A and B are shown apart, each in its own frame.
Chain A
Amino acid sequence: MATHPSAWAALLRANRRRIALIAVLVVALVLPFIPPFTGEDYRRWLVGAAFMAAQAVAFDFTAGYINIVNFGFAAFVGLGGYTSGLLAVELGIPPVIGMVVGGAVSGFVGLVTGALTLRLRGIYAAVMAWFVGLALMGIVRNVPELTRGSLGLAVPSLLDSPENLPYYYVILAMLVVTFGVLTWVIRSRFGLAFRAIGQNLAAARASGINPTRYLVINFVLSCAFAGWLGGFYAHYYGILTPDVMLTSHTVEVLAIAYIGGRGSLWGAAVIAFPLSIGVEYAKVQFSTLPGVHLVLYGLLLIVVMIYRPGGVAAAVRSFDDWLERRRRPAVAEAPHPA
């Protein structure tokens, strides 16, 4: 009566998390062809959702692993966008190259900020990143000769197509690259150091890790990806205003990252889709009430912070563990028939 679990089933179970991620990716790939999302409006929401997802992954890389909240995140996104946009407008450099340069510039500003503040306590770094963000926004506002200030900078688009579908696949690819690279870093010995520092700074230092170096590496990577994604924002929407850098945009990304689950990367990436689309839907439903989406994000963030600090990722993980525990006694009994 004892049935050996087949090799296939064991393989599936061992790789179930990887399989689940691939399934999610497949869903994301075919989503624009499933009825409500075939319309251009819905596809624009999808692009926005994937953009939020990629930002949340880059944000979680810092917030979830080294426990530093980059409160100026939106400014780093905006800096990348402005760099890429200005390169295209002033020098005619193609957006694809401009986006990479934008990422490099954001990474460099992140390096300066991080080198100055990351040797201090976490809260200093968070607040200083916020100050740097406000300062960047101030600079963009104050040089209208170059950035056209709050009038907005018109930027050439990334693709020739006016449709949203190709853009969706571009940003989805960027999301996969962001996720892949950052996951790869987390799996390396760097990731081990990040987690050690995030959990207990003194213990990490005692075991021979130079915290500042790793903190700065992490911060710079996150900022560089933020800048690269900002380049997409610039060349997708085609117009840049200093409002891109507003702290409220940081809070949106932050809310998604924490609701998705800190320190998981995938939690933020997955939850961004339903959350961002739901919020867009709410925005349309309550179009007479500006800012209602931020109230929703804020309330969700508060509830998650108090009652479910691990977010969706922790909930999924504990559900998975529960399934495992239910399965295991049955396996343990199997080798003893009568």
Chain B
Amino acid sequence: MTTAATNLRPAPFLRRYLTFTWLTLAIAAAIMVFEAFANASLVVNTLVTGGMWALMAAGLAMVFGVMNIPNFAHGELFLLGSFTAFTVFSPIQDALFDDPSLTWLKVFGPIPGMVVALAVGAITGVLLEVVLFRPLRRRSRDQWVMNTFLLTAGVSVVAINSYRLVVGNDFHGVSGYWIVPPVNVAGVPISVDRLMVLLIAVVTIGLFALFLQRSRLGRAIRAVSQDETGAQMAGIDLNGIFILTMAISCALAALAGASLLFLFPAYPDVGLQPLYTAWFVVILAGLGNIPGAVVGAFLVALLQNLTIFYVGVGWVDVLPTLFIMLILLFKPSGLFGSAVKGVWEQ
């Protein structure tokens, strides 16, 4: 759509000062980051939350790229993951309290919770596709993006309030997964939980990237996101790909929820911030751009942590929004958006 591209250019008077603006902003940002990074916990927090936002945002971006669904219920998968992990982990935690000498349980105890959360997330994803999206797709694909957006908004509201009805408003959390003294990294004590979460994020993103790039199924997923009709002509089973995409995306979100249980205890609205952040990342990186989402996630985590460091926790929702508005003013299709134009452009 060339007409769209010409329309999206910034106004001339803005363009004239663009270089100057970017330079000023970059220098200011560099100074702020340098100052803040004297505080090591900020670096760790950025990496840990960034890794988990990457899991959320990559799933969100993939579902949008492949199925054209802007999933507003992605945060509820986070909630599902954290509650599942809590349910599985609490008996293990009790067993550890009774007998702290079980070394193997201490090391591997948190793993089952995460694995079960992954599975539950995947099953939920399949259910969402089969029960909601497929009937809608069969009826009509008019205004598909807006309709699925509203549909998932409905799912989100139902999920949050059903959870509130069934489980209640209490916080269900754990103080930590691995109850061991913090390790020293470059002279700074860092809790093992955070390091493990970072490890989980890196490994999962690596496996996910490998799957998308190297495997047959991953190639099929990318093919569908580029051209649905073409992929179908090449013999790819669209329904299967849709189910798989939804399952992976939801499983990743649930894993993020399970891993961050020690930071975000399970309660009805816990999904809001992850959802908000994941959307933030996806808008920043360009809709449907998976690698961009991974990079953007760390960028947004940095932005949030800087906001907390310099201004205060309460402004986490406010300042990044102003920032993203600035970005959209100059780069309307996202920071890395220009290269990625999938089926959703139609």
Which A residues fall within an 8 A CB radius of B? 67, 69, 71, 116-117, 119-124, 126-128, 130-132, 134-135, 137-139, 141-142, 202, 205, 212, 247-248, 251, 254-255, 258, 289-292, 294-295, 297-299, 301-302, 305-307, 309
| Contact of B328 with A295 in the complex, beta carbons under 8 Å | no
Most buried by B among A119, A127, A212, A299: A127
Instruction: Write out, one digit per residue, whether chain B residues 313-345 have a CB within 8 A of any chain A CB (1) or not (0).
Output: 011111001101100110011000000000000
Q: How many A-B residue pairs have CB under 8 A?
A: 132
Please tell me if the beta carbons of A135 and B328 are within 8 angstroms of each other in the complex.
Answer: no
CB of B162 within 8 Å of the partner chain: yes
Q: Are A132 and B321 in contact (CB under 8 A)?
A: yes
Closest to A303 in B: B154
Interface check B88, CB cutoff 8 A? no
A85 to chain B, nearest CB (A): 20
Q: A116-B328, A258-B150, A302-B132 known; A131 and B280 CB under 8 Å?
A: yes
Given contacts A128-B328, A289-B165, A298-B154, contact A123 B146 (CB under 8 A): yes
Contact B140 A309 (CB under 8 A): yes
Q: Is the CB of A291 within 8 A of B328?
A: no
- Residue pairs across A and B with Cβ atoms less than 8 A apart, 5 shown, are A124-B283, A128-B283, A130-B279, A142-B315, A202-B1
Asked if A116 and B150 make an inter-chain contact with CB atoms under 8 angstroms apart, the answer reads: no
Q: How far is the CB of B285 from chain A (nearest CB, A)?
A: 13
| Structural contact, A67 and B322, CB atoms closer than 8 A | no
Q: Within residues 274 to 289 of chain B, which ones have a CB less than 8 A from any CB in chain A? A: 276, 279-280, 283, 287
Task: Out of B153, B164, B321, name the residue touching A131 (CB < 8 Å).
Answer: B321
Q: How many residues of B contact A (CB 8 A)?
A: 50
Contact A248/B157 with A126-B149, A135-B322 known, Cβ cut-off 8 Å:
yes
- Give the docked Cα–Cα distance between A251 and B152 (Å): 11
Q: Which residues of A contact B276 (CB under 8 A)?
A: 131, 134
Say whether B136 contacts A295, CB under 8 Å.
no
Output the nearest chain B residue to A143 by Cβ-Cβ distance.
B314
For A142, list chain B residues within 8 Å (CB): 312, 314-315, 318
Cα A132 to Cα B318 in complex, Å, equals 8
A141 closest partner in B (C-beta): B314
A121 to B4, CA, bound (A): 10
Q: Which of B143-173 contact A (CB under 8 A)?
A: 143, 145-147, 149-151, 153-158, 160-162, 164-165, 169
Q: B321 near A292 (CB under 8 angstroms)? A: no
Q: How far is the CB of A304 from chain B (nearest CB, A)?
A: 9
Contact (Cβ within 8 A) B158 A292 = no
Evaluate contact between A292 and B165: CB separation under 8 angstroms: yes
Given the known interface contacts A120-B332, A292-B161, A295-B162, the answer about A137 and B317 at a Cβ–Cβ threshold of 8 Å is yes
Instruction: Name the residue of chain A whose CB is nearest to the CB of B282.
Output: A127
- A305/B151 contact (C-beta < 8 A), A142-B314, A295-B157 known: yes
Which residues of the partner chain B approach A138 to less than 8 Å between Cβ atoms? 314-318
- B132 partner residues in chain A, CB cutoff 8 A: 302, 306
Within the complex, which residue of A117, A255, A307 is in contact with B328, where a contact is CB–CB below 8 Å? A117
Cα of A138 to Cα of B312 in the assembled complex, Å:
12
Partner of B139 from A120, A137, A302, A306 at Cβ < 8 Å:
A306
- Would you give the 0/1 interface string for B116-147, flagging 1 where the beta carbon is closer than 8 Å to chain A? 00000000000000001001100110010111
Contact A135 B145 (CB under 8 A): no
Q: CB-CB < 8 A to A119: which residues of B?
A: 7-8, 332
CA distance A290 to B276 in the complex (A): 24
Task: Add 16 more A-B contacts to A120-B332, A123-B149 (CB < 8 A).
Answer: A67-B143, A117-B328, A119-B7, A120-B328, A122-B146, A126-B146, A128-B283, A131-B321, A135-B322, A142-B315, A247-B272, A289-B165, A294-B161, A298-B158, A301-B153, A309-B140
A130 to chain B, nearest CB (A): 8
B165 interface neighbour in A117, A255, A291, Cβ under 8 Å:
A291
Q: Which of A116, A117, A121, A134 contacts B317 (CB 8 A)?
A: A134
How far is it, in angstroms, between the C-alpha of A141 and the C-alpha of B316 when the chains are bound? 12
- With contact pairs A120-B8, A299-B158 given, residues A128 and B325 touching in the complex (Cβ less than 8 Å): yes
Interface residue SS majority, chain A:
helix
CB contacts (< 8 Å) of A292 on chain B: these are: 161, 165
| Inter-chain contacts of A294 with B (CB < 8 A) | 157-158, 160-161
| Contacting pair A306 B136 (CB below 8 A) | yes
Given the complex, which residues of A lie within 8 Å of B165, measured CB to CB?
Answer: 289-292, 295
Q: Which residues of B contact A69 (CB under 8 A)?
A: 146, 149-150
Chain A nearest CB from B79 CB (Å) reads 14
Let me know if B65 is at the binding interface, CB within 8 A: no
User: Quick check: B158 and A205 within 8 Å, CB to CB?
Assistant: no
B158 & A302 in contact (Cβ 8 Å cutoff): yes
The closest CB in chain B to the CB of A126 belongs to B149
Tell me, in angstroms, the Cα distance from A120 to B280 when the chains sit together. Answer: 15
Bound complex: CA A135 to CA B136 (Å): 33
A248 to B158, CA, bound (A): 11
B143 CB contacts on chain A under 8 angstroms: 67
- Cα–Cα, bound, A139→B312 (Å): 12
Report A-chain residues with C-beta under 8 Å of the C-beta of B153: 71, 251, 254, 301
Q: How far is the CA of A129 from the CA of B272 in the complex (A)?
A: 16
On whether the beta carbons of A123 and B70 are closer than 8 Å, the reply is: yes
State A3–B287 Cα separation when bound (angstroms): 64
Q: Which residues of B contact A134 (CB under 8 A)?
A: 276, 317, 321
Is B157 touching A297 in the complex (CB atoms < 8 A)?
yes
Q: Which residues of B contact A306 (CB under 8 A)?
A: 132, 135-136, 139, 151
CA distance in complex: A258, B317 (Å): 29
- Closest chain A residue, CB of each to CB of B133: A306
Given contacts A116-B329, A127-B70, A297-B157, whether A202 and B3 have CB atoms under 8 Å apart is yes
Closest to A247 in B: B272
Nearest CB in chain B to that of A115: its residue = B329
Shortest Cβ-Cβ A-B pairs, 8 listed: A291-B161, A298-B158, A138-B317, A298-B157, A301-B154, A135-B321, A302-B154, A138-B318
Question: Known: A69-B146, A251-B157. Contact between A116 and B325, CB under 8 A?
Answer: yes
Chain A neighbourhood of B140, CB < 8 A:
309
Q: How far is the CB of B231 from chain A (nearest CB, A)?
A: 22
Whether the Cβ atoms of A122 and B3 lie closer than 8 Å is no
